Amino acid sequence: MKFLYSHRTRSADGQYVHIRELTDALRARGHEIVMAGPQGEREGAAKDLSAGGGQWRSALPGALYELGELAYCAPSYWRLREIYSKTQPDVLYQRYNLFYHPGVWLKRAKNIPLILEVNAPLAEERARHGGLGLEGLARKTEAAIWRGADMALPVTHVLAAKLRAAGVPDEKITVIQNGASEEFLTPHDGSAVRARYNLEGKLILGFSGFVRDWHGVDRVVRAIAKHNRSDLHLLLVGDGPARAGLEVLARELGVASQLTITGVVQRSEMPDHIAAFDIALQPAVTDYASPLKLFEYMALAKPILAPASANICEVLKDREDAALFVDQDGADFNAALEALIEDADLRARLGAAARASLIRQDLTWTGNARRVEKIAQALLGDNFRGDKT
């Protein structure tokens, strides 16, 4: 099949990773992908993950920026329509973004099946963080875009419930979690990473990705200080706005030498870095999210410490393939972390079980490509031109 992939993502963070992993997996299955992203994006080009974005959002008042988002739909739609006319795709796949209507408009104009990937309820998310001026309009347009798709793909069942509440019928919802790429499923040796940061002989508590204050990594710094064990070390693979605060906290608690923050690490280097972890950390989570790092931890057979929130429990089970804690209970977090620190056999068992669970559930990008392919075939029905086997 030929997929027209429409998105409005300029950043080089986890959003871009998701786009690249899924489209690469679909290509590997023999499908053609036509990209329709922001102008200036080079097809198939790997992005430097240190690249930033969002400068206009920070420069303009909320309501004015949101009106600009709506205005952006018009040129985006005509560009999408032009790409459609030139390439004649079978299916339109759009990554949902707030105020971004071109996919729904093209579906109606050309009667092309629309699959809408939904990673977050962005009206709710932006309103919660004070970044939304036109909240009423945002919520209405969000619901309209969700309902306009032939199939919506929320990344968790928690998020699926929000789509249902917005009027999307059950038969138009399929939950597809994030996943791990094949690269993370192959063996990796973290010894070179340990040597690079002088961490040989350390028990490494690891966190990967863009770190914000709400991730709760400060809890880990405090736990290291309480343990009074010089072999404990927090390795934060990434960067983010919480970095400076974590460094200050570590100095104040006298454990600065037990914290290493790598800065931005490119995707090709991430498996070797995670392979260096003894314990993989997800200290907090947004309640509707499907954290990319979680699946990469699982693929590399790392024992995971994570909250026992509904979205995490869709994937992991406490004491079976992860150590889960009640997020509001600091004592529960400390007890779960303590158990992993003190018991090497427990770490090995949970890590092996996490990997086995990922494989059993097929929580991979290849598996997601198969799911999207099946949905596309069903939407096309008798019009499907390819090999249905």
Domain boundaries, the chain: 2-179+364-383, 183-361
Residue 44: the pLDDT is: 46
d(CA 356, CA 344): 18
- At residue 306's C-alpha, the angle toward residues 123 and 341, to 5°, is 155
pLDDT digits (tens, 9 = 90+) for 67-99: 988 999 999 999 999 999 999 999 999 999 999
d(CA 153, CA 73): 22
d(CA 274, CA 129): 30
Contact 188, 300 (CB under 8 A): yes
Of 290, 102, 97, nearest to 306 (Cα)?
290
> Which CATH architecture describes the domain 2-179+364-383?
3-Layer(aba) Sandwich (3.40)
Residue 139: the pLDDT is: 95
Of 228, 227, 224, 267, nearest to 246 (Cα)?
224
Residue 39: the pLDDT is: 56
Does residue 99 come out as left (phi exceeding 0), alpha (psi in the -120 to 50 range) or beta?
Answer: left
Residue 57: the pLDDT is: 52
pLDDT digits (tens, 9 = 90+) for 269-292: 999 999 999 999 999 999 999 999
Residue 77: the pLDDT is: 95
d(CA 354, CA 183): 17
d(CA 384, CA 198): 56
Contact 102, 30 (CB under 8 A): no
Q: Is the dihedral of CA 239, 244, 245, 250 positive or negative?
A: positive
Q: Name the strand (E) or helix (H) holding 91.
A: strand 91-95
Residue 45: the pLDDT is: 47
Residue type, 44: G
pTM of the model: 0.91
d(CA 344, CA 342): 7
Which tokens hold the place of 233?
């070390």
Of 278, 275, 304, 272, nearest to 291 (Cα)?
304
> Which residues of the chain carry a pLDDT beneath 70?
11-13, 39-62, 382-389
CATH of domain 183-361: 3.40.50.2000
pLDDT digits (tens, 9 = 90+) for 221-264: 999 999 989 999 999 999 999 999 999 999 999 999 999 999 99
Which tokens hold the place of 130?
């004070």
Q: What helix, strand, coil percent values describe the chain, rounded to 5?
A: 50, 15, 35
Same fold, 2-179+364-383 and 183-361: yes
Residue 50: the pLDDT is: 46
